[in-house]
A and B are shown apart, each in its own frame.
Chain A
Amino acid sequence: MKKLLLSFSMVLVLLSVLVACGDDTSDVNGTSEETNGEVAVHKEGFPIVDEEIKLSLMAPGVGIEDWKNMVTLKRYSEMTNMTFEYITPPVSDFQTRLNLAFASQDLPDIILGAGTGNLTPGMEVDYGRQGVLLPLNDLIDEYAPNLKALMDENPEIARSVTTPDGNIYSLPFINNHPTAVWARGPLWYRGEWLENLGVEELPKTVDEFYDLLVRFRDEDPNNSGQDDTIPLTDVQMNSSRAWLMAAFGMKEWGIEEHDGEVRYAPMTDNYKAYLEFMNKLYDEKLLDPETFSQADEQKKAKGQENRIGLFPDWFSFFTTGQPEEEAVKDPMFFPLTSEWSQDRVVPANPGMVRGTFSLTKYNEHPEASMRWIDYWYSTEGRDFFDKGPEGYLWEANEDGTRNPLPAPEGFESPEEYRATLTPTYGITPPMLGDLVEGEPRSDFDLFIQAETEEKITPFSETPFPLVYLTDDEQRTVNTIQQDLSSYIEQMEARFITGVEPLSNWDDYVSTIKSMNVEEYINIHQEAYDRWAQN
């Protein structure tokens, strides 16, 4: 045995020598040889550079077409004189690949379309401080006139993308679509049921809401002659929670801000009232008994069988399975009031997604890269990357309006065809999201806009602004948040289903407090104050 140990330690010594060779984190980026620095970048017009340059770009791929074959990118390369090596790992596992790229320092010049799910605010701060991501402030001022104009117009943008050290490390997707204000997919009523029951006006208070759900349960609203209706359903409350909590005066299932004061909603009395109400719905079978155990497929199947009266989804026809034209009959949920919340309030989306465009320290041409992306923030550029050049998805009429063209043979939908033309499909691109001027809009589009303007926009408040935490804050928050989220998620389900009686509320609150929630709130309060000062 001794000899064995000896030989092992010999091997380990040998290896530690090898380790010294293994642990190199040097720059292995392919584009570093020639063109060191000085390529003249035009500040206006195209091409951006006279001498062709090549960069590497990493973005989530949706698996329909290789980026190098997309017509918009090919044309844009001709326009700009900039070509790219596209690295597009599948969107489903993009996070793994991006993390690996950072950790191994095997980074591309540009990271595009990652979004906060992959390139988190914490990573921006962390990698920004380390110098792995380049600060973009000066580049924006000098080389991004279109983006600069947007930022001057809306100061929220700069506030939301500036990290605590004053630098911007990532550009946002700026959403001006009619649905930009949606915090998540809304709740929809099944219009046919309302008609069958003769409901003229949607419920506007919690009590009226309860009464309607009872009618959904008892009065055979789907005319099936059977007792088969489910008044309200969801998959683990994930989508309906926000809208129902709002009826009790809360905007977020976590940290939220009220008049400059930050609080943790799941430990407030408002939340207790919400749980009591949901528990009542569950007990009386107004909330689907399978809410916490079903998968999305089962929920959709129930919708297609016309068994649910109220449900969350991005658009109602995703769940009902009906054609889009029919969906104009399904009205959006009207925000409720209760004794806890006399004023109607709805959580709003800040209208931006961060983390969509970053430059790494290996990028030899940050100026050109910034000019390259700035076009996407102009009206002309955004239309180009949204719908492609003329002759594919659309053609121009004489009056300047656009006439949509049908998708060619072999494509299931125009959207699928679009995915082969432009990279702005299925990811959050760094650009201005908006409607294309002069493009005809369907009845459904107009219906969505009208519903949003009536039921969401007037009552919308941002739950908590887009802030950044410092490294230390982020680390503390991560540690606290994991246990905390897990706990409130389990307890919400237990309270609603009655497994845990609400008489245990005080124990619940004291457990939350024992998880350091005070520190968690304080960190967010400080971050909020920093944001408010900017």
Chain B
Amino acid sequence: MDLNKINETKADKVFMGFVYVALTFALLIVLYPLIYIISASISDPAAVNSGEMWLWPKDITFEGYRIILQNDAIWRGYMMTIFYTVFGTFINLIFTLPTAYALSRKDFYGRRFFTLMFVLTMFIDGGLIPTYLVVRNLGLIDTVWAMVLPNAVALWNIIITRVFFQSTIPRGLEEAATIDGASNFKLFVKIIIPLSAPIIAVMALFYGVGHWNSYFNALIYLADRSLYPLQLVLREILVLQEMSSNSVSMTGGMAEFIHSQQQLAAIIKYGVMIVSTLPIIVVYPFLQKYFVKGVMIGSIKE
């Protein structure tokens, strides 16, 4: 069945050779720093910082992982992050997909108005304080909703999804459906959604990763530490190492505190990187299979 194989010409073989060389080159370039991080996570920080450790682990120690595993705050943050990611992404999809679909319809009166209304917000931004006041007046402060609703939908993603619908959903599908007497709602749920696996996967990934990496809303809207997501917990530990233990108006107590935080950060910095990103990296290969669903659209077109 693979036509590619049958008709492979010499030019194609040379070309595929080039593809593999280029991809391998990209792979190696990206791989080196990743291996570095993994090695660094189980090496003595002194060896890492002096440049002695440059590929394989040196003076192996699992101290960093031991500290991470023992830290309750990190694990509680982990649970909260998973919750925000799953719940938040679900809300995002509910907002984004129908909106993008409506905007993709040529016969949707007002699409230009709505698009402009959304795009305008890219440029006119009221700023942090008024937004905070809105969230506060809605009573969302210190609730999980503050982590979800202020980011319920992103313009960028609406636009990308709209472009996907415009370029992949065959025109005339709507008309055919309306002639059959199907409502827009039915059409969307029964036909459009099943056809859109690739963009749903991409959106889930984009939004999911956004939630996974975000700390700023938590910082602004949450006071209860038990609601903190992982990134905010990590930020507390890692950002301080950038503070100099030697600035003006420092007191002895502060200097010692920052020094101990720096030592802690040096030990766990790389390990925490791995522990906190592994789940979201592992998700990706599972989503990749949805990127090859082109076949279905082709068959429906007939």
A residues in contact (CB < 8 Å) with B:
4, 7-8, 11, 22-24, 28, 61-63, 66, 87-93, 96-97, 100, 103-104, 106, 115-117, 173, 175, 177, 179-180, 183-185, 235, 238-239, 296-298, 300-302, 304-305, 312-315, 318, 321, 349, 353, 410, 413, 415-416, 424-428, 433
Q: A63 and B236: CB pair below 8 A?
A: yes
Q: B245 and A313: CB pair below 8 A?
A: yes
Supplied contacts A298-B50, A314-B250, A410-B70, 8 more A-B pairs, CB within 8 Å: A92-B236, A97-B219, A179-B251, A185-B246, A298-B49, A312-B246, A426-B258, A433-B253
Q: Which residues of A contact B41 (CB under 8 A)?
A: none
Give B248's nearest chain A residue, CB to CB: A184
Q: Which residues of A contact B217 (CB under 8 A)?
A: none
Within 8 A of A (CB), among B22-81: 46, 49-51, 70, 73
Q: B232 and A304: CB pair below 8 A?
A: no
In the complex, A202→B113 CA distance in Å? 77
Given A104-B132, A173-B251, is A301 in contact with B113 using a C-beta cutoff of 8 Å?
Answer: no
User: Interface size on B (CB < 8 Å)?
Assistant: 51
Q: A314 and B256: CB pair below 8 A?
A: yes
Within 8 A of A (CB), among B211-260: 219-220, 223, 225, 232-233, 235-237, 239-241, 243-260
Smallest CB separation, B65 vs chain A (Å): 15
**Is the CB of B195 closer than 8 A to any CB of chain A?**
no
Given A8-B116, A298-B49, is A416 in contact with B252 using a C-beta cutoff of 8 Å?
Answer: no
Q: Which residues of A contact B136 (CB under 8 A)?
A: 28, 104, 106
In the complex, A221→B263 CA distance in Å? 28
In the complex, A410→B254 CA distance in Å? 23
Q: B254 and A90: CB pair below 8 A?
A: no
Give B265's nearest chain A residue, CB to CB: A297
Q: Which residues of A contact B247 (CB under 8 A)?
A: 184, 238
In the complex, A97→B232 CA distance in Å? 14
| Ranked 5 nearest A-B pairs via Cβ | A301-B49, A426-B257, A314-B255, A301-B50, A92-B239
Q: Which residues of A contact B252 (CB under 8 A)?
A: 177, 179, 314
Q: A184 and B117: CB pair below 8 A?
A: no
Give A425's nearest chain B residue, CB to CB: B257
- Of A22, A66, A115, the residue contacting B134 (CB under 8 A) is A22
Smallest CB separation, B61 vs chain A (Å): 15
In the complex, A184→B249 CA distance in Å? 7
Q: Which residues of B contact A89 (CB under 8 A)?
A: 219, 223
A-B contact pairs, 5 of them (CB 8 A): A96-B220, A239-B246, A298-B49, A410-B70, A428-B251
Q: A7 and B113: CB pair below 8 A?
A: yes
Q: Which residues of B contact A22 (CB under 8 A)?
A: 130, 133-134, 137
In the complex, A18→B254 CA distance in Å? 47
Smallest CB separation, B47 vs chain A (Å): 9
In the complex, A87→B141 CA distance in Å? 13
Q: B251 and A433: CB pair below 8 A?
A: yes
- Of A183, A235, A305, the residue contacting B244 (CB under 8 A) is A235
Q: B219 and A353: CB pair below 8 A?
A: no
Q: Which residues of B contact A416 (CB under 8 A)?
A: 260
Smallest CB separation, B297 vs chain A (Å): 33
Q: A415 and B256: CB pair below 8 A?
A: yes
Smallest CB separation, B20 vs chain A (Å): 38
Smallest CB separation, A110 vs chain B (Å): 15
- Of B70, B134, B254, the residue contacting A426 (CB under 8 A) is B254
Give B70's nearest chain A residue, CB to CB: A410
Q: B253 and A424: CB pair below 8 A?
A: yes
**Is the CB of B262 closer than 8 A to any CB of chain A?**
yes
In the complex, A302→B52 CA distance in Å? 11
Q: A353 and B251: CB pair below 8 A?
A: yes
In the complex, A426→B251 CA distance in Å? 10
Q: Which residues of A contact B235 (CB under 8 A)?
A: 90, 92-93
**Is the CB of B14 closer than 8 A to any CB of chain A?**
no
Given A63-B73, A314-B255, A415-B256, is A87 in contact with B223 using a C-beta cutoff of 8 Å?
Answer: yes
Q: B249 and A115: CB pair below 8 A?
A: yes
Q: Which residues of A contact B253 (CB under 8 A)?
A: 424-426, 428, 433
Given A63-B233, A305-B50, is A96 in contact with B133 using a C-beta cutoff of 8 Å?
Answer: no
Q: Which residues of A contact B10 (CB under 8 A)?
A: none
Give B51's nearest chain A residue, CB to CB: A301
Q: B129 and A104: CB pair below 8 A?
A: yes
Smallest CB separation, A102 vs chain B (Å): 10
In the complex, A456→B133 CA distance in Å? 50
